[in-house]
Structure 1
């Protein structure tokens, strides 16, 4: 029987800061625009956390089915592949967490759309269901899209555009175009984390038939791709700030720039792909720090 530690490992706590970054950015922008709702924001955090855990369970389950999690994989040993959690237990775990995230999501959408049109309610319920489907079929199922190089696109959408713009709308009932500058930024940073994961496992993924973008473009190309995403994300954040400038405090997020650039420099000089593993957590935490300082700057500027 699976232990509590095994379930915690399967939930992959180091991925949770990234899942929360888009939600917090949406909340911070809603505050800046003067329309924050505590109930919506709290439910958004709970729902995003549950969906991310469901996604991690499904990823663990799916990769074990495809044989990608094996002795040649450079990342942490996964729980289903190692036998810590049986496939049957993981299936049960996915059902429980999926159900909890669905209930939490329904409450989130209800509180966020109760003063708007019924159409908005059903649109967001549909997006929530799509999020769960996308989380499952990333590596699970007969034709997982993560195995044909589409994982980056879905991470960009479901970690960037949807949480930032969606949470902003659920808080405010509006969706100005300027919000998408930050939605793209968080989406690019989040995709960068996935890219690091795929860069680390490029050899094993190629041998296992998992054709990620790094497998397609190679080690050097994937590093250039990584740099382009991070730098473009920073450009979009600066553009938003200049366009919506009210106080110098809004540039508080620039304090995290050296951390992004330091890690990027080191990534370009790493020869052993296994050494890339710590940079996944570091980019996730840097993205969260960026988000918190960005939101703090917004809040102070309108205080």
Structure 2
């Protein structure tokens, strides 16, 4: 019974989403390492906080969609925990509260370790942290979830990109480097591309249920052009950072993952089968994370 319960919670946590959630922290931290201002406690706590917030978002999405009746037999994506009967709605709600509290605790410890008694920075990051928790919960929960109004892409861009990269870099360095925003925007666009594939795959059931994602608002064909734009601009932003900072040739190793992303994007543009799109979603998440790893590693070497 215990093993079944653990498997149910692991299923609800959607572990396959966690590497992508970690990418922004990895990028911001490795940019700080390049500047010789890296802190292991800051890195570990930043990573923990990002993972907790992602799990919180996953649980809230499971709960919110289930209560709104979106998770039914027409769903084409991975089965949700409440939909499959693995967990009850009250159990999920208690888990959401617990994850929110753990996220707060981890975030406060991160701030104590990184910025000490700098009270203005405390106020700023507490505000951003509170916004991140609200965003994780309100995506599908509440009377007017913003994920049902086409605002999910903006949220992912901000929290998986700008805030994740620039924020984690600042916690290491106590500095706002304008060039870091290029990497933050690139990271956010890649994460948004993953969400967009999800929304293209779920286009018809979302449209029927009144879930007006940006893909639904754009229409299927334009959503695919939008996907190509996200990938191309993201890759261009990473390249811009390297060019502006006269990076070594080894730093361009990330282009190996970039080529794979372009190949996957071509498939997304052409394919309409739900199963194929789900495979490309997983591939995009995998290659986006690998791109972040290669980019981060490449920065550390001089040739």
Normalised TM-score (structure 1): 0.97
- Larger CA deviation: 256-265 vs 46-55: 256-265
Deviations 1:80-111 (A, max 9, x none): 12221101100111111111111011011111
How far residue 137 of structure 1 moved from its aligned partner, in angstroms, is: 0.3
Q: Distance in 2 between matches of 1:301 and 1:36?
A: 18
How far residue 59 of structure 1 moved from its aligned partner, in angstroms, is: 0.4
Residue 236 of structure 2 is aligned to residue 235 of structure 1: yes
Deviations 1:1-39 (A, max 9, x none): 871111101100111011000010000111112211111
How far residue 299 of structure 1 moved from its aligned partner, in angstroms, is: 1.2
Q: Distance in 2 between matches of 1:21 and 1:281?
A: 15
Deviations 1:133-152 (A, max 9, x none): 10000000111000000000
- 8 A contact 2:25–2:47 mirrored in 1: yes
Q: Distance in 2 between matches of 1:110 and 1:98?
A: 18
Q: Per the alignment, in what secondary structure is the counterpart of residue 296 of structure 2?
A: helix
How far residue 76 of structure 1 moved from its aligned partner, in angstroms, is: 1.0
Q: Structure 2 residue aligned with 1:114, among 112, 116, 123?
A: 116
Other-structure match for 1:90: 92
Deviating 4+ runs (over 2 angstroms)? none
How far residue 131 of structure 1 moved from its aligned partner, in angstroms, is: 0.5
Residue 130 of structure 2 is aligned to residue 129 of structure 1: yes
Other-structure match for 1:277: 278
How far residue 68 of structure 1 moved from its aligned partner, in angstroms, is: 1.1
Other-structure match for 1:263: 264
How far residue 293 of structure 1 moved from its aligned partner, in angstroms, is: 0.6
Unaligned runs of 5+ in 1: none
Q: Per the alignment, in what secondary structure is the counterpart of residue 301 of structure 2?
A: helix
How far residue 272 of structure 1 moved from its aligned partner, in angstroms, is: 1.7
Normalised TM-score (structure 2): 0.97
Matches within 5 A, 1:104-253: 104-114=106-116, 117-253=118-254
Q: Distance in 2 between matches of 1:271 and 1:131?
A: 33
Residue 22 of structure 2 is aligned to residue 7 of structure 1: no
Q: Distance in 1 between matches of 2:187 and 2:158?
A: 10
Other-structure match for 1:63: 65
Other-structure match for 1:39: 41
How far residue 291 of structure 1 moved from its aligned partner, in angstroms, is: 0.6
Q: Distance in 1 between matches of 2:180 and 2:43?
A: 16
Q: Per the alignment, in what secondary structure is the counterpart of residue 3 of structure 1?
A: helix
- Larger CA deviation: 244-253 vs 206-215: 244-253
Deviations 1:160-187 (A, max 9, x none): 0001000000000001100000000000
Unaligned runs of 5+ in 2: none
- 8 A contact 2:267–2:280 mirrored in 1: no
Q: Per the alignment, in what secondary structure is the counterpart of residue 72 of structure 2?
A: coil
- 8 A contact 2:197–2:268 mirrored in 1: no
How far residue 193 of structure 1 moved from its aligned partner, in angstroms, is: 0.6
How far residue 271 of structure 1 moved from its aligned partner, in angstroms, is: 2.5
Q: Distance in 2 between matches of 1:273 and 1:228?
A: 21
